[in-house]
Amino acid sequence: MAQTERANDYRLIDVRPLEPALGAEIRGIDLGNGIADDAFAEVHRAFLEHQVIFFREQSELAPETQIAFARRFGDLHVHPAAPHLDGRPEVFVIHTHRESKVANGGGWHTDVSCDTEPPAATMLQIHTLPETGGDTLFASMYAAYDALSDPMKQMLQGLTAQHESEHVYRGRYSDRGVDDAGRVYPSATHPVVRTHPETGRKALYVNAGFTTRINELTSAESKNLLGFLFRHIESPFFQVRFRWSANDIALWDNRCLQHHALWDYWPHERKGHRVTIKGDRPYL
Protein backbone atom coordinates (compact mmCIF):
# COMPACT_ATOMS: atom_id res chain seq x y z
CA MET A 1 0.00 0.00 0.00
CA ALA A 2 1.31 3.44 -0.96
CA GLN A 3 2.40 5.66 1.92
CA THR A 4 1.21 9.29 2.04
CA GLU A 5 4.05 11.83 1.66
CA ARG A 6 4.15 14.16 4.68
CA ALA A 7 6.59 16.86 5.67
CA ASN A 8 7.42 16.66 9.37
CA ASP A 9 8.14 20.39 9.59
CA TYR A 10 6.46 21.20 12.91
CA ARG A 11 8.33 23.86 14.87
CA LEU A 12 6.46 24.08 18.15
CA ILE A 13 5.36 20.52 18.83
CA ASP A 14 7.10 17.18 18.46
CA VAL A 15 5.05 14.96 16.10
CA ARG A 16 6.01 11.28 15.86
CA PRO A 17 4.02 9.32 13.24
CA LEU A 18 3.02 5.84 14.38
CA GLU A 19 1.74 4.07 11.26
CA PRO A 20 1.73 4.82 7.50
CA ALA A 21 -2.07 5.04 7.42
CA LEU A 22 -2.77 7.04 10.60
CA GLY A 23 -1.77 8.01 14.11
CA ALA A 24 0.91 10.21 15.64
CA GLU A 25 2.19 10.90 19.12
CA ILE A 26 2.52 14.51 20.18
CA ARG A 27 5.10 15.55 22.75
CA GLY A 28 6.59 18.85 23.84
CA ILE A 29 3.33 20.49 24.83
CA ASP A 30 1.61 20.70 28.23
CA LEU A 31 -2.13 21.03 27.66
CA GLY A 32 -2.69 21.88 31.33
CA ASN A 33 -1.16 25.32 30.64
CA GLY A 34 -3.43 26.28 27.76
CA ILE A 35 -2.17 26.52 24.20
CA ALA A 36 -1.01 29.54 22.19
CA ASP A 37 -2.51 30.17 18.74
CA ASP A 38 0.61 29.21 16.77
CA ALA A 39 1.01 25.91 18.67
CA PHE A 40 -2.70 25.23 18.25
CA ALA A 41 -2.37 25.73 14.47
CA GLU A 42 0.29 22.98 14.44
CA VAL A 43 -1.85 20.67 16.59
CA HIS A 44 -4.77 21.20 14.22
CA ARG A 45 -2.57 20.44 11.20
CA ALA A 46 -1.24 17.25 12.85
CA PHE A 47 -4.81 16.19 13.67
CA LEU A 48 -5.94 16.56 10.02
CA GLU A 49 -2.79 14.89 8.72
CA HIS A 50 -2.73 11.89 11.07
CA GLN A 51 -6.48 11.50 11.85
CA VAL A 52 -5.78 10.51 15.45
CA ILE A 53 -3.17 12.13 17.66
CA PHE A 54 -2.04 11.08 21.11
CA PHE A 55 -0.76 13.67 23.57
CA ARG A 56 1.77 11.99 25.85
CA GLU A 57 3.22 13.13 29.18
CA GLN A 58 0.15 15.09 30.34
CA SER A 59 -1.23 15.68 33.81
CA GLU A 60 -4.90 15.10 34.64
CA LEU A 61 -6.85 17.99 33.12
CA ALA A 62 -9.57 19.69 35.14
CA PRO A 63 -12.91 19.34 33.27
CA GLU A 64 -12.93 23.06 32.44
CA THR A 65 -9.40 22.84 30.98
CA GLN A 66 -10.34 19.89 28.78
CA ILE A 67 -13.53 21.69 27.71
CA ALA A 68 -11.58 24.87 26.89
CA PHE A 69 -9.07 22.93 24.78
CA ALA A 70 -11.81 21.01 22.94
CA ARG A 71 -13.64 24.31 22.25
CA ARG A 72 -10.64 25.48 20.23
CA PHE A 73 -11.82 22.96 17.58
CA GLY A 74 -15.48 24.02 17.63
CA ASP A 75 -18.69 23.94 19.65
CA LEU A 76 -19.20 20.93 21.88
CA HIS A 77 -21.61 18.07 21.30
CA VAL A 78 -23.69 16.47 24.07
CA HIS A 79 -24.03 12.68 23.96
CA PRO A 80 -27.67 11.53 23.52
CA ALA A 81 -27.44 8.70 26.07
CA ALA A 82 -24.32 8.55 28.19
CA PRO A 83 -23.77 9.60 31.82
CA HIS A 84 -21.96 12.90 32.27
CA LEU A 85 -20.32 14.92 35.03
CA ASP A 86 -22.68 16.80 37.34
CA GLY A 87 -23.39 20.19 35.78
CA ARG A 88 -21.16 19.39 32.78
CA PRO A 89 -23.27 17.68 30.13
CA GLU A 90 -20.39 17.95 27.62
CA VAL A 91 -18.19 15.61 29.70
CA PHE A 92 -19.01 11.94 29.18
CA VAL A 93 -17.53 9.86 32.00
CA ILE A 94 -15.96 6.68 30.64
CA HIS A 95 -15.85 4.18 33.50
CA THR A 96 -15.58 0.41 33.67
CA HIS A 97 -14.96 -1.71 36.78
CA ARG A 98 -15.78 -5.02 38.44
CA GLU A 99 -19.56 -4.36 38.53
CA SER A 100 -19.83 -3.08 34.93
CA LYS A 101 -22.20 -4.92 32.61
CA VAL A 102 -21.01 -3.20 29.46
CA ALA A 103 -18.03 -1.10 28.39
CA ASN A 104 -18.22 1.86 26.11
CA GLY A 105 -16.86 1.61 22.58
CA GLY A 106 -16.52 -2.19 22.30
CA GLY A 107 -16.72 -3.11 18.60
CA TRP A 108 -15.81 -1.01 15.57
CA HIS A 109 -17.82 2.20 15.36
CA THR A 110 -17.82 5.90 14.55
CA ASP A 111 -18.99 8.02 17.47
CA VAL A 112 -22.71 8.84 17.37
CA SER A 113 -23.03 8.41 13.58
CA CYS A 114 -26.80 8.11 14.27
CA ASP A 115 -26.94 11.92 14.66
CA THR A 116 -27.89 14.00 11.61
CA GLU A 117 -24.76 16.02 12.30
CA PRO A 118 -22.41 13.51 13.95
CA PRO A 119 -19.51 14.76 16.09
CA ALA A 120 -16.46 15.78 14.07
CA ALA A 121 -13.94 14.80 16.73
CA THR A 122 -13.61 13.13 20.11
CA MET A 123 -11.10 13.97 22.83
CA LEU A 124 -10.55 11.36 25.53
CA GLN A 125 -8.26 11.52 28.53
CA ILE A 126 -7.86 8.29 30.49
CA HIS A 127 -6.98 8.89 34.15
CA THR A 128 -7.18 5.38 35.61
CA LEU A 129 -5.89 2.34 33.75
CA PRO A 130 -5.62 -1.38 34.32
CA GLU A 131 -2.06 -2.69 34.58
CA THR A 132 -2.43 -4.33 31.18
CA GLY A 133 -5.12 -4.15 28.51
CA GLY A 134 -7.62 -1.40 27.75
CA ASP A 135 -5.96 -0.44 24.45
CA THR A 136 -7.95 1.41 21.80
CA LEU A 137 -7.71 0.49 18.09
CA PHE A 138 -8.26 3.07 15.36
CA ALA A 139 -8.80 2.42 11.64
CA SER A 140 -8.46 4.94 8.82
CA MET A 141 -11.51 5.13 6.60
CA TYR A 142 -9.46 7.07 4.02
CA ALA A 143 -7.18 4.04 3.74
CA ALA A 144 -10.17 1.66 3.67
CA TYR A 145 -11.78 3.67 0.85
CA ASP A 146 -8.52 4.05 -1.11
CA ALA A 147 -7.93 0.27 -1.02
CA LEU A 148 -11.21 -0.50 -2.83
CA SER A 149 -11.26 -1.15 -6.58
CA ASP A 150 -12.55 1.58 -8.90
CA PRO A 151 -15.77 -0.31 -9.81
CA MET A 152 -16.55 -0.82 -6.10
CA LYS A 153 -15.84 2.85 -5.36
CA GLN A 154 -18.14 3.84 -8.20
CA MET A 155 -20.97 1.67 -6.94
CA LEU A 156 -20.66 3.00 -3.37
CA GLN A 157 -20.72 6.65 -4.51
CA GLY A 158 -24.43 6.53 -5.24
CA LEU A 159 -25.51 4.83 -2.01
CA THR A 160 -26.84 6.06 1.32
CA ALA A 161 -27.17 4.14 4.59
CA GLN A 162 -29.35 4.20 7.66
CA HIS A 163 -27.60 4.80 11.01
CA GLU A 164 -29.70 3.93 14.07
CA SER A 165 -29.11 3.99 17.81
CA GLU A 166 -32.16 2.53 19.57
CA HIS A 167 -30.49 -0.93 19.55
CA VAL A 168 -27.24 0.58 20.86
CA TYR A 169 -28.41 2.93 23.60
CA ARG A 170 -31.74 1.67 25.01
CA GLY A 171 -31.05 0.71 28.65
CA ARG A 172 -27.33 0.69 28.08
CA TYR A 173 -26.40 3.00 30.93
CA SER A 174 -29.12 1.89 33.37
CA ASP A 175 -26.48 0.44 35.73
CA ARG A 176 -25.00 3.95 35.90
CA GLY A 177 -28.25 5.61 36.89
CA VAL A 178 -29.53 6.70 33.46
CA ASP A 179 -33.31 6.26 33.17
CA ASP A 180 -34.15 6.55 29.46
CA ALA A 181 -37.89 5.81 29.63
CA GLY A 182 -39.66 7.93 27.01
CA ARG A 183 -36.42 9.06 25.39
CA VAL A 184 -36.30 8.85 21.59
CA TYR A 185 -32.88 7.90 20.27
CA PRO A 186 -31.66 9.45 17.00
CA SER A 187 -31.37 7.91 13.55
CA ALA A 188 -30.07 9.45 10.32
CA THR A 189 -29.34 8.75 6.68
CA HIS A 190 -25.78 9.39 5.48
CA PRO A 191 -23.83 8.76 2.27
CA VAL A 192 -21.85 5.49 2.28
CA VAL A 193 -18.80 7.48 1.16
CA ARG A 194 -18.27 10.97 2.59
CA THR A 195 -15.97 13.82 1.68
CA HIS A 196 -14.03 15.25 4.60
CA PRO A 197 -15.04 18.91 4.89
CA GLU A 198 -11.53 20.10 5.79
CA THR A 199 -9.19 17.85 3.76
CA GLY A 200 -11.44 17.10 0.75
CA ARG A 201 -10.46 13.40 0.95
CA LYS A 202 -13.03 10.63 0.57
CA ALA A 203 -13.67 8.18 3.40
CA LEU A 204 -15.86 5.12 3.85
CA TYR A 205 -18.72 5.98 6.22
CA VAL A 206 -20.51 2.84 7.42
CA ASN A 207 -19.84 1.16 10.77
CA ALA A 208 -20.97 -2.01 12.48
CA GLY A 209 -22.16 -0.15 15.59
CA PHE A 210 -24.83 2.06 14.04
CA THR A 211 -25.27 1.30 10.32
CA THR A 212 -28.26 -0.99 9.84
CA ARG A 213 -28.95 -0.97 6.09
CA ILE A 214 -28.08 0.48 2.71
CA ASN A 215 -31.21 2.21 1.51
CA GLU A 216 -31.04 1.64 -2.25
CA LEU A 217 -30.39 -2.14 -2.10
CA THR A 218 -32.57 -5.16 -1.34
CA SER A 219 -32.23 -6.41 2.20
CA ALA A 220 -30.08 -9.39 1.09
CA GLU A 221 -27.81 -7.14 -0.99
CA SER A 222 -27.54 -4.63 1.85
CA LYS A 223 -26.68 -7.32 4.42
CA ASN A 224 -23.98 -8.84 2.21
CA LEU A 225 -22.44 -5.54 1.13
CA LEU A 226 -22.36 -4.22 4.72
CA GLY A 227 -20.86 -7.54 5.84
CA PHE A 228 -18.11 -7.17 3.22
CA LEU A 229 -17.42 -3.54 4.18
CA PHE A 230 -17.38 -4.27 7.93
CA ARG A 231 -14.78 -7.02 7.33
CA HIS A 232 -12.83 -4.83 4.93
CA ILE A 233 -12.40 -2.00 7.45
CA GLU A 234 -10.86 -4.44 9.97
CA SER A 235 -7.69 -4.92 7.89
CA PRO A 236 -4.55 -4.36 10.00
CA PHE A 237 -3.17 -2.22 7.14
CA PHE A 238 -5.61 0.53 8.10
CA GLN A 239 -5.00 0.40 11.87
CA VAL A 240 -3.06 1.81 14.75
CA ARG A 241 -3.36 0.30 18.24
CA PHE A 242 -2.86 2.69 21.13
CA ARG A 243 -1.44 1.51 24.44
CA TRP A 244 -2.41 4.15 26.97
CA SER A 245 -0.34 5.57 29.81
CA ALA A 246 -2.18 7.41 32.59
CA ASN A 247 -3.37 10.89 31.52
CA ASP A 248 -2.61 10.45 27.82
CA ILE A 249 -5.12 12.30 25.66
CA ALA A 250 -6.36 10.91 22.33
CA LEU A 251 -7.99 13.22 19.81
CA TRP A 252 -9.62 11.44 16.88
CA ASP A 253 -11.40 12.55 13.73
CA ASN A 254 -14.76 10.77 13.43
CA ARG A 255 -15.14 11.98 9.84
CA CYS A 256 -12.41 9.66 8.61
CA LEU A 257 -11.86 6.88 11.13
CA GLN A 258 -13.46 4.25 13.32
CA HIS A 259 -12.30 2.93 16.66
CA HIS A 260 -12.71 -0.06 18.93
CA ALA A 261 -12.02 0.02 22.68
CA LEU A 262 -10.90 -3.35 24.05
CA TRP A 263 -12.56 -4.52 27.27
CA ASP A 264 -10.02 -7.22 28.01
CA TYR A 265 -9.16 -6.10 31.54
CA TRP A 266 -12.22 -7.05 33.63
CA PRO A 267 -12.44 -6.94 36.69
CA HIS A 268 -10.00 -4.02 36.73
CA GLU A 269 -10.92 -0.36 36.50
CA ARG A 270 -10.50 2.08 33.62
CA LYS A 271 -11.77 5.65 33.87
CA GLY A 272 -11.56 8.95 32.00
CA HIS A 273 -13.32 11.96 30.55
CA ARG A 274 -14.52 12.22 26.95
CA VAL A 275 -15.55 15.42 25.20
CA THR A 276 -16.84 15.58 21.61
CA ILE A 277 -16.79 18.42 19.13
CA LYS A 278 -19.81 19.09 16.90
CA GLY A 279 -19.61 18.21 13.22
CA ASP A 280 -21.44 18.91 9.96
CA ARG A 281 -23.95 16.86 8.06
CA PRO A 282 -21.92 14.31 5.99
CA TYR A 283 -21.98 14.76 2.21
CA LEU A 284 -20.63 12.80 -0.75
Q: Which residues are catalytic?
A: 109, 111, 259, 274
**Of 183, 149, 178, nearest in space to 166 by CA:** 183
Nearer to ligand SIN (CB atom), residue 6 or residue 243: 243
Residue closest to ligand SIN (Cβ): 105
* Residue 255 binds ligand SIN, judged by CB under 6 A: no
Give yes or no for a contact between 218 and 225, defined as CB atoms under 8 angstroms apart: no
- DSSP annotation of 234: T
* Residue 53 binds ligand SIN, judged by CB under 6 A: no
**Of 263, 264, 240, nearest in space to 252 by CA:** 240
> Nearest distance from residue 184's CB to ligand SIN, in Å?
22
Mask for 57-96, x = binds ligand SIN (CB under 6 A) = -------------------------------------x--
Alpha-carbon torsion angle 20, 24, 25, 29, nearest 10: 140
SS3 257: strand
* Rounded distance between C-alpha atoms, residue 154 and residue 164, angstroms: 25
Contacts 24+ apart (CB under 8 A), 169-174: 169/80, 169/81, 172/81, 172/102, 173/81, 173/82, 173/83
* Residue 105 binds ligand SIN, judged by CB under 6 A: yes
Nearer to ligand SIN (CB atom), residue 136 or residue 239: 136
Give residues 124-163 in contact with ligand SIN (rule: CB under 6 A): 124, 136
Nearer to ligand SIN (CB atom), residue 120 or residue 124: 124
Of 50, 163, 213, 274, which lies in the binding site for ligand SIN, with binding defined by CB under 6 A? 274
- Binding residues for ligand SIN, rule: CB under 6 A, are 94, 104-105, 122, 124, 136, 259, 261, 274
